[in-house]
Structure 1
Amino acid sequence: MEELRSLRDLKRINVSSDRLYSATHEEILNGYTTDVYFLRTMDILRKMGLENKVVTAEIFARREGLLAGIEEAISVLKNKNVEIWAMPEGTVFEPKETIMRIRGPYSEFGIYETVILGMLASSSGWATAAREAKKACKGKPMLCFGARHVHPAVAPVMERAALVGGADNASCILGAKLYGKEPVGTVPHAAFLIAGDTVEVALAYDAITPPDEAITILVDTFKDEAEESIRVAQALGKRLYGVRLDTPGERGGVTVELVKEVRARLDQKGFNNVKIIVSGGLYPEKISELADYVDAFGVGSYISGAHPIDMTMDIKEVEGQPIAKRGRIPGIIDNDKLIKVK
C-alpha cells in the first residue's frame, strides 16, 4: 500500500464491503482517511511548483479542555521531514491556545490535517469528560467502562484517553495496555443469568481467582441489593472485596438511599470491610451526590459519549513570512507550554 499523493491515486483504491469498516493503521498512515480536497490541494500546488514550500502550521482548540491524542498525532509524522512542537499529553489548554506547531514542506504533512485534528478532537473530548467525572468522585477511584458504547476500532483510543483524563483504570483490554496498565473488571450480568444464582457465581469466581486478587460481585441481578450483598458476604467472608450496584433505570437506578441502606445492613452484619462500587449511567452531578457514601465508581457513557473538542489547523507562516486568513493574526503564536518533540 502506497501513500496517496494525488487525485489520480484514488483509481487504485478498491474497497471491498466484505471487511470491517474501520480503517487499518496502514490506511490511516497512507492518507486513506483524509478529506479528498487535500489531494486536490497537492495537485494544484504541484502544478504551480509550490508543493514543497516550507510552511508553519498551528493547531488550536475552540474550547477549554485536557489534551489527549497528541502522542498519537506526533507518531503520524514521525517519518516525515518536519519539526514539531507540542503541549505534553494531559495538559489543560484554553480556547485558541496553540496546542501543536508543525514546520516543514507542505507536501510532508498537508494530507494529514484531517487525521491529526480528528485524533486530537476525539481524544481530548474523552479525556476532558473523564477529568470532569473524576473530579466529582472526591478522591474515590474511578474506572472507565465505556468501550461498549463506541465502535471497537476506537474503544481503546477512548479508554486510553480516559486514563489520561484521570481514570484510575479501564476495562478495555487494549485501552489499558496502551497506557501501561492491566485491565480491570468484575463479572457481567450474563454470568449470573446463565448460572441462575448470584452466590453460586461468587463461589465459582472465588475458586478460579488467585488469593491475592480482589473479588467484587454484582448484586442487582435477582434479589434486593441489600439482601444479595449480605448473602454474598456471608458466602465469601474476607475474600469479598466489594459489591457492585448497577441497578437499572427501570428500577430507579442507584440512589443515595439505596447505597446508604446497603452500607448499613452490611455493617450491622459485621461486614464493614466490604466496599461499595457503583456504575450505570453515571454523570458528574450524580457522582457528586454519591461520592460521600461510595468507595469507587465505574463510568462509561458519560466519557464515551463526550463531544469532540473542535480543533483547527492554520498556516501561520510561508517560507518564514507571517500570514493568516482574515480574522486571524499572522505569524506564530508563542506558547510556553509547547515543547519541541521532533
Structure 2
Amino acid sequence: MEKSLIQSLADVKEIKIKPERKLFSATPEEILRGETSDIYFIRTHEILSKIGLVETPVTAEVFCRRAGVFAGIDEVTDLLASQDVEIWALPEGTPMQAKEVVLRIKGPYGEFGIFETPLLGLMASSSGWATAAREVKEAAAGKPVLCFGARHIHPAVSPVMERAAIIGGCDGASCILAAKLAGREPQGTIPHAMILIIGDTVKAAQAYNELMPPGAPRTVLVDTFKDEAEETLRVAEALGSDLGGVRLDTPGERGGVTPDLVKEIRARLDQKGFDHVRIFVSGGLDPERIRILSEAGADAFGVGSYISAARPIDMTLDLKEINGQPFTKRGRIPGLTHSTRLVKMK
C-alpha cells in the first residue's frame, strides 16, 4: 500500500531505510510524500493541526535572489497537483529579474506548507542551470550548443539538469533521459574509448559511418592519436561527403582547443574542398572561450561543467496574506506584490 503524505513526527519516525536500497537519491514517490522536506515544516504542520490552524487560508509568494532564466515550475505544479491550491507563476524559460516574484500559491497552509523545501529546490537548481545555458547560447551567437554535463553530477538529477539546459537555450543534450523528457532525441556520436579500442581514428570513423543509421550525425573526434589537423584531413578524405563534422576536444594537458588550431583546421579543410565539414568544439568551454573560438571559425559547441556546475538561484518563500489580510514578517511588504507577468498554472 502506498504511503500517505507525511503530517507528523510519528510519520517521520515510521520512515525506514531498507537494507537493499541501492541509491541514495530520492524517488519521485518519496518527494511527493514530503520525505525530502526540512523537518521543521513537519513540526509546524503537526502543531498547527493540534491547535486547529493548519487549514488557515494563506497566500505565499516566492521571489528569486538574482536575475536569470526561470525554470522548474513544471515540476512544482506536478508536486502540488493533488493539493487544494491555486498557483500563478512565470512560464518555463522566462527571463526574471532579481527580487521578482516568480511564484504565488494560494490555499490552506496545510495543503502546501510541508512542500516548501522541495519546491524551492526544484526552481533554484533548474533556474541556475537554465541561466548558464542561456549564457553559453548567447555567446555562441546563434550557433548550435549541446549540453554534455551529465557526467559531472549525480545521475539522479542529470536529466533535470540537461532538460533545464534545453529550456535555457541549448539545442540538445547527450543524456538520453534528459532529451526524452524535453521531447527531443539525444545527441552525440562516439567517445575516445571507441577510437582507442579500434586503434585508429580513420578505421573508427569508417566503422561508425558503415554501421550507424543514415540519420546519425557523422561527427568524428580527431584528437585521439595524431595532430588534429592531420587527423581531420585523414578522416575527411576517408569519408568524403559523408563527413558532417570533426570534433575538437583537445585536453588541457596539451593546451586545449585554441583559436589558431580552429583557424588552421578550417583553412586546411577549405583548401582540400571539404568546406561542408563543420568544426565542433568541446572541453572546458565557457562563454568567453565560446566567443573566441566562434570568431576563429568553430561552428558548434558542447558544454558540460559550465552548465552542470552553475550556482543555483536562491528562491525565498514568504507568506504575504493570512485569512485574506495583508500580513508578513519584518523586512517584507505585506500583501500581494503587483505583477502582470504571473500566469495561472493551477
- Name the amino acid aligned to 2:322: V
Q: Does residue 341 in structure 1 map to residue 325 in structure 2?
A: no
Q: Equivalent residue for 1:302?
A: 306
- Name the amino acid aligned to 2:341: K
Q: Equivalent residue for 2:5?
A: 3
Aligned equivalents of 1:306, 1:125: Cα separation in 2: 6
- Structure 1, unmatched stretches of 5+, are none
Aligned equivalents of 1:279, 1:21: Cα separation in 2: 31
Q: Equivalent residue for 1:20?
A: 23
- Name the amino acid aligned to 2:136: A
Q: Equivalent residue for 2:214?
A: 211
TM-score by length of 1: 0.99
Aligned equivalents of 1:213, 1:84: Cα separation in 2: 42
List aligned pairs for 1:119-134, cutoff 5 A. 119-134=122-137
Q: Does residue 314 in structure 1 map to residue 318 in structure 2?
A: yes
Given that residues 254 and 278 in structure 1 are in contact (C-alpha distance below 8 angstroms), is that contact kept between their aligned partners in structure 2? yes
- Name the amino acid aligned to 1:160: R
Aligned equivalents of 2:309, 2:186: Cα separation in 1: 21
Q: Among all aligned residue pairs of Structure 1 and Structure 2, give the percentage whose two residues are the same amino acid.
A: 63
Aligned equivalents of 1:2, 1:326: Cα separation in 2: 35
Q: Equivalent residue for 1:48?
A: 51
Q: Does residue 330 in structure 1 map to residue 334 in structure 2?
A: yes
Residue in structure 1 matching 2:112, options 109, 117, 125: 109
List aligned pairs for 1:1-342, cutoff 5 A. 1-16=3-18, 18-292=21-295, 293-342=297-346
After TM superposition, give the deviation of residue 98 of structure 1 in Å. Answer: 0.7
Aligned equivalents of 2:332, 2:98: Cα separation in 1: 14
For residues 256-304 of structure 1, the C-alpha deviation after alignment (integer angstroms, 9 at most, x for no partner) is 0010111111112221111000000000011011112111000010000
- Name the amino acid aligned to 2:37: T
Given that residues 214 and 239 in structure 1 are in contact (C-alpha distance below 8 angstroms), is that contact kept between their aligned partners in structure 2? no
- Name the amino acid aligned to 2:292: E
For residues 104-152 of structure 1, the C-alpha deviation after alignment (integer angstroms, 9 at most, x for no partner) is 0111000000000000000000000000010000111000000000100
- Name the amino acid aligned to 1:135: E
- Name the amino acid aligned to 1:86: A
Aligned equivalents of 1:36, 1:115: Cα separation in 2: 12
- Name the amino acid aligned to 1:294: A
Aligned equivalents of 2:285, 2:323: Cα separation in 1: 51
- SS for the counterpart of 1:22 is coil
Aligned equivalents of 1:231, 1:320: Cα separation in 2: 73
- Name the amino acid aligned to 1:298: G
For residues 138-188 of structure 1, the C-alpha deviation after alignment (integer angstroms, 9 at most, x for no partner) is 111000000000100000000000000000011011111111111100100
Aligned equivalents of 2:98, 2:299: Cα separation in 1: 35
- SS for the counterpart of 2:244 is strand
For residues 72-129 of structure 1, the C-alpha deviation after alignment (integer angstroms, 9 at most, x for no partner) is 1111011110011111111111111110100001110000000000000000000000
For residues 2-35 of structure 1, the C-alpha deviation after alignment (integer angstroms, 9 at most, x for no partner) is 2111011112111135421000000000000000
- Structure 2, unmatched stretches of 5+, are none
- Name the amino acid aligned to 2:7: R
After TM superposition, give the deviation of residue 44 of structure 1 in Å. Answer: 1.4
Aligned equivalents of 1:261, 1:85: Cα separation in 2: 53
Aligned equivalents of 1:48, 1:4: Cα separation in 2: 18
Given that residues 123 and 158 in structure 1 are in contact (C-alpha distance below 8 angstroms), is that contact kept between their aligned partners in structure 2? yes
Given that residues 176 and 183 in structure 1 are in contact (C-alpha distance below 8 angstroms), is that contact kept between their aligned partners in structure 2? yes
- Name the amino acid aligned to 2:72: G
Aligned pair count? Answer: 342
Aligned equivalents of 1:210, 1:74: Cα separation in 2: 39
After TM superposition, give the deviation of residue 211 of structure 1 in Å. Answer: 2.9
- SS for the counterpart of 2:253 is helix
- Name the amino acid aligned to 2:112: F
Given that residues 249 and 282 in structure 2 are in contact (C-alpha distance below 8 angstroms), is that contact kept between their aligned partners in structure 1? yes
Aligned equivalents of 1:321, 1:302: Cα separation in 2: 44
Aligned equivalents of 1:5, 1:86: Cα separation in 2: 26
Aligned equivalents of 2:216, 2:176: Cα separation in 1: 17
- SS for the counterpart of 2:236 is helix
After TM superposition, give the deviation of residue 210 of structure 1 in Å. Answer: 2.5
TM-score by length of 2: 0.97
